[in-house]
Chains A and B, each alone.
Chain A
Amino acid sequence: MGHINDTLRALWTTLRTAFRPTSTVQFPAVVRPRGERYRVSFALPDDENGEMACIGCLTCERICPSQVIKVKPGVKRESPVTGKKRAYTDDFVIDLSACIQCELCVQVCNNDAIVMVREAEQPMFEREDLVLGFARLRKNATDRTRSWGHGTMLQESQEPAKVEKKAPAVKAAPAVAAEPRQPAPRSPSRAAEPPEDGARARAREGARARRGGTDVSATLAFGVVAACALLSAVFVVRAVDLIRAVLWLGITLIATAALYAMLGASFLAGVQLLLYVGGVMTLMVFGVMITRRHEGIAPTATDTVRPVRGAVVAASLFGLVAAAIVNTDGLDDAPARALAPLTLADLGRSILVEHVLAFEALSLLLLAAIIGAVVIARRRDPGPLDEPTEASR
């Protein structure tokens, strides 16, 4: 029960998600608003007096974990704007290709002289193109949007402050469209269809079959299918490769099913496909696959005993089947008098009324087969091995 419950809950979850808005957007067409603290590149901005703020103190160069900042401090001189003496910097290089965007350089800068910007640099073909020189850094300060943080502010936010926790707003799930319930129209007064006149239908079929019996095209079709069956049977014997032999056998079995269908034995044809082609053939394939190798089984010319033995068995089997056919009653005038096709209901009645004992005995036979299979399987079980017991070399 737990599994079923979990399965249903999982199905409910995915269905609910399917009717919610997506998390992703079509990127180049729609650009989602970036987070406030989004930051990608750098800039060297001016101070409040309109001069470059950097004084070349090297704090950022020292803190940089990936050591991508190179600053060349300049000499102290009088500022042309304020008239006070201050330090300047001659060169400033950031190798963006190795930068990890940790923002530590921004955080330690007491002058707010290095900040990050929100617009990314253009993708480049060479790594060296991502080394931001002095000019580019200065240009970024005017061309691009500054990101959220700067040194003073980030240092202030290091002070322990009381954090107010805001409960996340509960979003109401969009109403899932209720599955349309299919009304079940039932009119009790609807009369049952009158039973088909079985005898007449059967007579019609029989007449058609009779006509078909002398039909040239039917004979031709029989010839083609029978030839298929025989030829593929020959290939079964001739095939060197065991798997191919089994697959040829499949064609023989399908052709036999076709013969059944042509004789009007629909059910038998279906069963032939279901049991023999689907089941017995698989059994044989698996039987071959649990053997060790398929090579080296090719019959050798010097082996004369085996073909003879095989021929004897085949001949006696043929004799047996032929005798059974010859001794069957009512087949003397078979081509002229086609049998009325047997319906499935006839078959069912025959199984459950006339041959009910055989039907029950069959269940015992199947039981014996199951037990036998278990016994054989357990005896041959080589123990807890994994799927392929041995890869061939």
Chain B
Amino acid sequence: MSALGHGALYGAVLIAVMLSTVAVGIWFERKFAGRMQSRLGPTIVGPMGLLQPLADVVKLLQKEDIIPAGADRALFNLAPVLATIFSLGVAAVLPLSPHMIAADLDIGVVYMLAVGGLMVVPTFMAGWASNNKFALLGGMRAVAQSISYGVPLVLAVLVPVILSGSLSLAGIVRWQSEHHWFALWPVIPGLPAFALYFMAMLAEANRIPFDIPEAESELVAGVTTEYTGAKFTLFYLAEYVHTLVGSAIGAALFFGGWDGPFAPGLHWMVAKTLALFVVVYWVRWTLLRLRSDQLMELCWKWLTPIGVALVLIAAAWVQFAPQGAL
């Protein structure tokens, strides 16, 4: 099969799977959040409210398309599409099983950081094109937050790269399946690096407790304030896909991806991804939002030096660990 056909086929299948996962994920989140708050969650549409996300999508697609006065129409329309492309595009380098990967780039890690980092473009674009003060403020805050947490994210990702000596996500997973999962061994750069990655991933996806860019209580809805209908749907989708793909990459980098006994690799990868996805919701419905200044202080004063230290510890481990302890 040609490379283009391979990418397109995997893209179509993987995107369809991710979209269904997001749909079920939204239902699960509402149900889970309900239970955490001693409520029932959705119950009416379908059995146990399972069809609720479908109803939501149909509702959203039916909404009138309103472009605010004074908006930059071209950029306003372009931003949601770009957000979709970049959030889905990261998944191209996801290794689902040893031979299931849409685009086995030898620099998969850099690709994932780069394309994920591009999310700042549609975010700012939407905020700026809306001609709305809340949207612009939200956009600026989101971009500042994303790039700040980009630094600990890169440092956290460097740890598995150093330990495995590979920049390909499949290569990193293969190393882990031959040796140890990095979250388990070596536990000192591994586990804290995973915690660092997880926090940075939440911040990049603007998830609670790092959701100050769309803080409802002060910024209405951040960059999506002026968006309605399908364009809002795309932003919403992009946010969930970003979280889902972030969980999958966390599973691949730190929890051995497809590696696991008894079941085929794909099952393990999916199970690990979903487990991390659930943790994201769990955190989201538990913690409170951080203030802007706390956010920046946490990132630059604590996470960045910790990340640098972890990178050095990982390098020292590679250098000085006895051969058997690898």
Contact = CB atoms under 8 A, between A and B. Distances in A.
Interface stretch (A22-30, A64-72, A320-328): A22-30
Given A10-B286, A11-B283, A24-B38, A184 B121 contact: no
Main secondary structure of the interface of B (DSSP, over half): helix
A139 B39 CA distance: 38
B107 A22 contact: no
B43 interface: yes
A387 B133 CA distance: 12
A285 B143 contact: yes
Contacts of B36: 14-15, 17-18
Given A243-B128, A273-B115, A344-B167, A387 B147 contact: no
Interface stretch (A159-167, A186-194, A360-368): A186-194
A22 B34 contact: yes
Contact of B117 (A15, A243, A278): A278
B107 A388 contact: no
B198 to A, nearest CB: 12
A23 B286 contact: no
A150 B260 CA distance: 69
A391 interface: yes
Given A22-B38, A24-B38, A344-B167, A274 B283 contact: no
Given A11-B286, A274-B110, A247 B37 contact: no
A255 interface: no
Contact of A267 (B40, B110, B137): B110
Interface stretch (B19-27, B174-182, B308-316): B174-182
Nearest to A15: B282
Contacts of B34: 22
Nearest to B109: A270
Interface residues of B, number: 46
B141 to A, nearest CB: 8
Contact of A14 (B75, B143, B180, B285): B285
Contacts of B265: none
Interface residues of A, number: 49
Interface in A253-311: 266-267, 269-274, 277-279, 281-282, 285-286, 289
Contacts of A26: 40, 43
A270 B174 contact: no
A247 B107 contact: no
A37 B17 CA distance: 53
Given A22-B39, A344-B107, A388-B137, A190 B143 contact: no
B12 interface: no
A50 interface: no
A14 B106 contact: no
Contact of B110 (A14, A270, A279): A270
B5 interface: no
Nearest to A191: B178
Interface string A1-26: 00000010011011101111011111
Interface string A157-180: 000000000000000000000000
23 contacts: A7-B287, A13-B286, A17-B35, A23-B38, A26-B43, A186-B180, A243-B128, A247-B75, A266-B105, A267-B107, A267-B167, A269-B107, A273-B115, A273-B118, A274-B113, A278-B118, A281-B121, A282-B120, A282-B143, A286-B140, A343-B106, A387-B137, A388-B133
Interface of B: 32, 34-40, 43, 72, 75, 105-107, 110-111, 113-115, 117-118, 120-121, 124-125, 128, 133, 137, 140, 143-144, 147, 150, 167, 174, 178, 180-181, 184, 260-261, 282-283, 285-287
Nearest 5 A/B pairs, CB to CB: A270-B110, A278-B117, A273-B114, A274-B114, A23-B38
Given A267-B167, A278-B114, 20 more contacts: A14-B36, A14-B282, A15-B282, A17-B37, A18-B32, A18-B36, A24-B38, A26-B43, A184-B180, A185-B260, A192-B178, A267-B107, A270-B110, A272-B114, A273-B111, A273-B118, A274-B110, A279-B117, A285-B143, A286-B140
